[in-house]
Amino acid sequence: MQHYKSYAAAMLVMAVLLVGFMSSGCVTKRDIEGVNERLDSIERQNAETQRLVARLDSVISNGADADRKLRADLSSSVDDLQEQVAKLLQNYADLVDRLDALRRSQVVKLPPTSSPGAEPAPEVGTSTALNVACDRSYDSAFILVRKGQYDKAITGFKNFLDSCPNHQAVANAYYWMGECYYSMEKYQDAVAQFDYLLKNYKNTVNGSRALYKMARAKQELKQKTEAKQLFERLIKDYPSTLEAEQAKDRLKELK
């Protein structure tokens, strides 16, 4: 605005000078040319000032847009990193379970000494073969999860649960089915799987992760009150976990 005022003031001065010359009766062509030259100079200065102001406005605007974009990108990157860390922890826990199961399956158990009238003990080979088959069934379904073939993975886990209801990885199978449903954005089905897991396998190693994903599914379903309650429960029941820290951030979004 200031450069417009200066320009107007200069124009007013020129007009007064011109009127003064004309009223005094001594206006010459040289005087008029001098006034015109000064007007041209003022106009050029005004145009340059406007250009600089416009450029400054553009820089400020672009800087604000860049700052907003940077903040958004950083926030998104942090969320993505947290999700990746959570998945790495999931894979680590599952790998530990698989290694433990493998060690147990390799231990050969000798049948107890039979006594008169006792039923014959089951053959060790049959039990071991069943465990190996169940391990392979679970592993095949888990590999499908890693490949992103969630429908096939769910079918694989269901077949595993039907064939191996007493296997040590049953709780993990329910958890990964919930993850598959969540990845396919079938949030109601995901909630059902996680809820079943938490109610029936209270000591599952995936407790904090299942609770967090169930809360996130509720959040995606716009059930904010229930999501908030689940996040608060997660912070209370699993205070030292990564999911508890993530839950604190999510609660800020629900206020």
**pLDDT tens, position by position, 130-172:** 788 999 999 999 999 999 999 999 999 999 999 999 999 999 9
pLDDT at 205 over 90: yes
C-alpha angle with apex 196: 194 to 199, nearest 5 degrees?
Answer: 105
Q: Is the pTM of this model over 0.75?
A: no
The region that residue 87 occupies, defined by phi over 0 for left and psi between -120 and 50 for alpha, beta otherwise, is: alpha
Q: Where are the domains of the chain?
A: 2-22+31-61, 130-255
- The model's confidence at residue 255, banded by pLDDT at 50, 70 and 90, is confident
pLDDT attached to residue 81: 62
The residue-averaged pLDDT of 116-143 equals: 71
Q: Does the pLDDT of residue 254 top 50, yes or no?
A: yes
Q: What is the mean pLDDT of residues 222-242?
A: 95
- The whole-number pLDDT of residue 121 equals 43
Distance from first CA to last CA of the chain, Å, rounded?
Answer: 42
CATH number of this structure's domain 130-255, picked from the four choices 1.10.1740.10, 3.40.50.300, 1.10.3720.10, 1.25.40.10: 1.25.40.10
Computed over every residue of the chain, the mean pLDDT equals: 75
pLDDT value, residue 73? 59
Report the range of poorest mean pLDDT among 17-26, 108-117, 120-129, 140-149.
108-117
Q: Among 79, 244, 235, 233, which Cα is nearest to 225's?
A: 233
Burial zone of 77 (CB within 10 Å; 0-12 exposed, 13-18 middle, 19+ buried): exposed
Q: What percent of the chain has pLDDT over 70?
A: 51
Q: Residue 3 — very low, low, confident or very high, per pLDDT cuts 50/70/90? A: very low
- The amino acid at residue 7 is Y
For residues 103-109, average pLDDT: 46
Above 90 in pLDDT, residue 217? yes
Q: Which long-range contacts (CB under 8 A, 24 or more apart) does 109-117 make?
A: none
- The answer on pLDDT for 79 being more than 80 is no
pLDDT in tens, 13-62: 455 444 444 444 454 555 555 555 666 666 666 666 767 766 666 666 66
